Chains A and B, each alone.
Chain A
Amino acid sequence: MLKPSDVIKLTKVKFSYASGAIFDDLSVGFPRGKVTAVMGGSGSGKTTILKLIGGQIKPNSGDVSYGGESINQFSYDQLFRFRRKLGMLFQFGALFTDLNVFDNVAFPLREQSSLPEVAIRDLVLLKLHTVGLRGASKLMPSELSGGMARRVALARAIALDPEVMLYDEPFTGLDPISTAITGDLIRRLNNALGITSIFVTHDIKASFKVADEVVLLSRGQVTARGTPQELIASQDPFVRQFVGGEVDGPVPFHVVSESIAKDLGIPVSHWLKK
């Protein structure tokens, strides 16, 4: 399922945490300049993909590449140079709590560039303006609401004008308005900056509104892939269960266990089904 237009490619990736295998043989590609949503149940490996792309973890075998270069084989210096092209938005923002909003957004600029403070000030205000929070520049992270904190984190993530934006559960825990704003920002940033965006979520409504393509993961494999419209129209039972938010289907309601009759110590003939 890898196409030549894919700028980020995971090829035959095998990865497992100490607790168990996540990916056995995963191959997935992400097209340049598009917004791709990675969705799936909890524990399906969505966030792991982001960590693999960001080089925070290395696959047991297989290849993770960006623009033809293999990320998992980067040296320490190469990895840090690569990360300057990356912007990542963490689930709860991960703002630096001892710095105010302005200093948070200025952080990557101050660390990675040798721009004078005057230039940095303008850039920071511009980035904050993009996310609509220019007026909050003097506030501390503890004084921000969840949605505002994430927007500041977004401004910080785009401070160095990255080529790729990764979003870890950007909609989780937000009210409908903040969710809409976030989705809108993801879309506008992608178009305005011409970047490749990948976000991980399980919010169907919000992601389908924003994504060009959706990748559905289940048990370490790509179960379905397509535009939101294609997925809505899909007849695949797993896709239907996930998209429709159904209680039971290919992903069973009951965790595997002994029959309830056995657990309760009642003879089977008294029960019609398990």
Chain B
Amino acid sequence: MIVKTLSSLGHAIIDSIWRLGVASSFIAKVLTRSSIVLRRPQLLVDEIHFAGVLSMVIIVVSGLFVGLVLGLQGYETLKRYGSTGAVGTLVALSLVRELGPVVSALLFASRAGSAITAEIGIMKTTEQLSAMEMMAVDPHARVISPMFWGGFISMPLLAAIFSAFGILGGYLITVVVIGVDGGAFWSQMQASVDFYHDILNGVIKSVVFGFAVSSIAVFEGYSAVPTAEGVSRAVTRTVVTSALAVLALDFVLTAFMFTGGV
């Protein structure tokens, strides 16, 4: 019984590593065929629309709500130490360093990532990718690459929008509703948020997350089993794998950026 569990665990690990290898060579292929994005920007624009524009609503609304909650919770806690003026700092740093990049990446994976996987998977199932190949058009260049870059470019922008609306939400609840001093809110924030250390690091995070989520979405779609069930499983894998990857990468990046090494 134990032997069986261990061997299937080992099997699963070897499988994952093998899959990672396949995925890496696939992504390398997609990246090398990316010159089309420069020659035909229209394709990229369409994909930015697909991944980014259509995700805007959920990002803005989520960002706003997260900011509202951060402001509220932060205020309640800081009240006890008499430092409610620091709530601006709390909201801004939490968002810019962590919540902005991470939560928006998770939302992006669920909305845009799954859509990308489904689209590519269905194209594979209905032989559209094969048909394209037979017409001497490389699907890696024509379909997959723009989708990857569309996701990759959209991600940091969405993370920034999330953080910005989060700060706005924090402002709304603490200053406008509760009555914390607006001046203190912004001035303390400005004094504590460093452009290089906090904002730029947050942007770097969202770029890394963008790469990871887009790669996963595109790979899962392309390698989906060409049946309805296969596509649905691929979509699930995209969301789950993306979530795990984002959280794991977040840990690694945070360790390097914010603590000067583990």
Let me know if chains A and B touch directly in the complex, using CB atoms closer than 8 Å: yes
A interface residue numbers (CB < 8 A to B): 54, 56, 80-81, 83-84, 86-88, 90-92, 94-97, 107-108, 111-112, 153, 156, 160
Q: A92 near B126 (CB under 8 angstroms)?
A: yes
What 1/0 flags go to B107-146 for Cβ under 8 Å of A? 0000000000000001000111011011111100010000
Q: A91 near B127 (CB under 8 angstroms)?
A: yes
Q: Can you show 29 pairs from A to B with CB atoms below 8 A apart?
A: A56-B130, A80-B138, A81-B136, A83-B133, A83-B136, A84-B135, A84-B136, A86-B134, A88-B134, A90-B127, A90-B130, A90-B131, A91-B127, A92-B126, A94-B128, A94-B130, A96-B131, A97-B122, A107-B135, A108-B135, A108-B136, A111-B135, A111-B137, A111-B142, A112-B135, A112-B136, A112-B137, A153-B131, A156-B135
B interface residue numbers (CB < 8 A to A): 122, 126-128, 130-131, 133-138, 142
Contact of A80 (CB < 8 Å), options: B128, B130, B136: B136
The closest CB in chain A to the CB of B134 belongs to A88
* Cβ contacts under 8 Å, B131 to chain A: 88, 90, 94, 96, 153
B42 CB to nearest chain A CB (Å): 11
The closest CB in chain A to the CB of B127 belongs to A94
B167 CB to nearest chain A CB (Å): 37
Give the docked Cα–Cα distance between A173 and B165 (Å). 54
Q: A83 near B130 (CB under 8 angstroms)?
A: no
Q: B138 near A83 (CB under 8 angstroms)?
A: no
* Cβ contacts under 8 Å, A107 to chain B: 135, 137
Give the docked Cα–Cα distance between A56 and B136 (Å). 11
B51 CB to nearest chain A CB (Å): 15
Contact of A56 (CB < 8 Å), options: B126, B133, B135: B133
Which 9 A-B pairs give the minimum distances between C-beta atoms?
Answer: A94-B131, A94-B127, A83-B136, A88-B134, A80-B136, A84-B136, A108-B135, A90-B127, A111-B137
* Cβ contacts under 8 Å, A56 to chain B: 130, 133-134
The closest CB in chain B to the CB of A81 belongs to B136
* Cβ contacts under 8 Å, B135 to chain A: 83-84, 107-108, 111-112, 156, 160
Given known contacts A94-B127, A97-B126, is B134 in contact with A54 (CB within 8 Å)?
A: yes
* Cβ contacts under 8 Å, A153 to chain B: 131
Q: A96 near B127 (CB under 8 angstroms)?
A: no
Q: B127 near A83 (CB under 8 angstroms)?
A: no
The closest CB in chain A to the CB of B143 belongs to A96
Which of A54, A88, A156 has the most B CB atoms < 10 Å from its CB?
A88
The closest CB in chain B to the CB of A108 belongs to B135
A106 CB to nearest chain B CB (Å): 12
Given known contacts A80-B138, A83-B135, A86-B134, is B127 in contact with A92 (CB within 8 Å)?
A: yes
Give the docked Cα–Cα distance between A30 and B128 (Å). 27
* Cβ contacts under 8 Å, A112 to chain B: 135-137
The closest CB in chain A to the CB of B142 belongs to A111
* Cβ contacts under 8 Å, A84 to chain B: 135-136
* Cβ contacts under 8 Å, A95 to chain B: 128
Give the docked Cα–Cα distance between A95 and B122 (Å). 12
* Cβ contacts under 8 Å, B133 to chain A: 56, 83
Which of B131, B134, B142 has the most A CB atoms < 10 Å from its CB?
B134
A50 CB to nearest chain B CB (Å): 10
Q: A96 near B137 (CB under 8 angstroms)?
A: no
Give the docked Cα–Cα distance between A153 and B128 (Å). 11
B122 CB to nearest chain A CB (Å): 8
Give the docked Cα–Cα distance between A165 and B136 (Å). 14
Give the docked Cα–Cα distance between A110 and B142 (Å). 12
The closest CB in chain B to the CB of A50 belongs to B134
The closest CB in chain A to the CB of B128 belongs to A94
Give the docked Cα–Cα distance between A107 and B131 (Å). 11
The closest CB in chain A to the CB of B135 belongs to A108
A82 CB to nearest chain B CB (Å): 8
Give the docked Cα–Cα distance between A265 and B150 (Å). 64
Q: A94 near B126 (CB under 8 angstroms)?
A: yes
Q: A97 near B138 (CB under 8 angstroms)?
A: no
Give the docked Cα–Cα distance between A173 and B171 (Å). 62
A80 CB to nearest chain B CB (Å): 5
Give the docked Cα–Cα distance between A56 and B128 (Å). 14
A238 CB to nearest chain B CB (Å): 31
Give the docked Cα–Cα distance between A111 and B127 (Å). 18
A19 CB to nearest chain B CB (Å): 14
Contact of A96 (CB < 8 Å), options: B128, B130, B136, B138: B128
Give the docked Cα–Cα distance between A171 and B130 (Å). 20
Give the docked Cα–Cα distance between A86 and B122 (Å). 24
Contact of B137 (CB < 8 Å), options: A88, A91, A97, A108: A108
Q: B134 near A83 (CB under 8 angstroms)?
A: yes
* Cβ contacts under 8 Å, B137 to chain A: 107-108, 111-112
Give the docked Cα–Cα distance between A83 and B137 (Å). 9
**New A-B pairs, 16, CB < 8 Å, besides A97-B128, A107-B135:** A56-B130, A56-B134, A80-B136, A80-B138, A83-B133, A84-B135, A86-B134, A90-B127, A92-B126, A94-B127, A95-B128, A96-B128, A107-B137, A153-B131, A156-B135, A160-B135
